[in-house]
Amino acid sequence: DEQAAAVPTRVLVAGAGIAGLAMANALSRIGGFEVELVDPDPRPVGVAVGLSSCALRALDGIDVLEPVLAASAPSMALHMCTADGTTLVHTVRETPEGQPYPDNVIVDRLSLAGALAASVMARGVRIRTGVAAAGIELVDGGAIVDLVAGVDGGRSGAGARSGADERPGAGAPVGADRGSGEATTRERFDLVVGADGIGSRLRASVFAQQPRDLEQLGLRWTTGPVEGLDHGIMYLAPHA
């Protein structure tokens, strides 16, 4: 009926990293969704990330492209070498005619997360920091999620509001871990998106398998302008 149709679909996005912020932003632009984000500590981890034209097009679709481009630098070359410096591939991208932005850029994660968080909050999405989605029970038409507040390391990240949600009806404590000071509430959502990273407590409560170690190690760093250096180089070495 019309009254049921007017009730928004309640969505929980677990994880306020780049993926979670982008998902919350996109969902908030679709009518009929009430979106909430939870994250124990949403501070960006890592140095920089490369964004190709596909990613930039997606950011343009959620009106975040301009601040991201302002904080980025073009990265049009792909240069891969063996450990001894032998070039395996060295190509330079060409930006397609009519495309209003570079075909690939590098941006630091703090700037990218900050732009996404600012846009999400401007759209009225609630960000609850210091809160983790620790378990899920699937029920007819939705899911009941265990939300743990007071998680160690829960601090505000780029543009995020801090503190657990204290609005009426948000859920009453059903248990607490006295050793850690963590308090658990159970809340029902129509849709749950797991974007809480490789150590996801939410995923572990649903799937038996754990992330598989690929036995690969990547080391990367950023630097200021260096005379004669106009692109980055990737060195590949076999597993020791």
The secondary structure of 64-87 as a DSSP string is -HHHHHHTEEE--EEEEEETT--E
Taking only Cα atoms into account, the Rg of the chain, rounded to an integer number of angstroms, comes to: 21
Task: Give the pair of three-digit tokens for residue 38.
Answer: 């939870």
Percent of the chain scoring above 90 in pLDDT = 45
17 class by beta-carbon count within 10 Å (0-12 exposed, 13-18 middle, 19+ buried): buried
Higher pLDDT, 183 or 173: 183
Mean pLDDT for the stretch of residues 131-156 = 81
Q: Which of the residue ranges 79-88, 135-144, 205-214 would you say has the lowest mean pLDDT?
A: 205-214
What pLDDT was estimated at residue 44? 76
Identify which of 19, 42, 13 has the alpha carbon closest to the alpha carbon of residue 158: 42
In the predicted structure, residue 190 carries a pLDDT above the cut 60: yes
214: helix, coil or strand? coil
Buried b (16+ CB within 10 A) or exposed e, 122-135: eeebbbbbbbbbbb
pLDDT digits (tens, 9 = 90+) for 53-100: 999 999 999 999 999 999 998 888 889 999 899 999 999 988 889 989
What pLDDT was estimated at residue 82? 93
Range from 33-37, 91-95, 178-182, 206-210 that averages highest in pLDDT: 33-37
Question: Mean pLDDT for the chain?
Answer: 81
**pLDDT interval class at 183 (50, 70, 90):** confident
Model's pTM, two decimal places?
0.77
17, 236, 239 from 217: Cα distances, Å? 22, 10, 9
In the predicted structure, residue 120 carries a pLDDT above the cut 70: yes
What pLDDT was estimated at residue 162? 37
Higher pLDDT, 64 or 163: 64
Q: How far apart are the first and last CA of the chain?
A: 64
Q: How far apart are CA 204 and CA 221, in angstroms?
A: 31
Q: Report the residue count for the chain.
A: 240
Mean pLDDT for the stretch of residues 133-141 = 91
What pLDDT was estimated at residue 225? 67
**pLDDT interval class at 240 (50, 70, 90):** low
How many angstroms from the chain centroid is the CA of residue 144? 22
Q: Is the dihedral of CA 21, 26, 29, 32 positive or negative?
A: negative
**pLDDT interval class at 6 (50, 70, 90):** low
Sole residue written with tokens 């994660």: 109
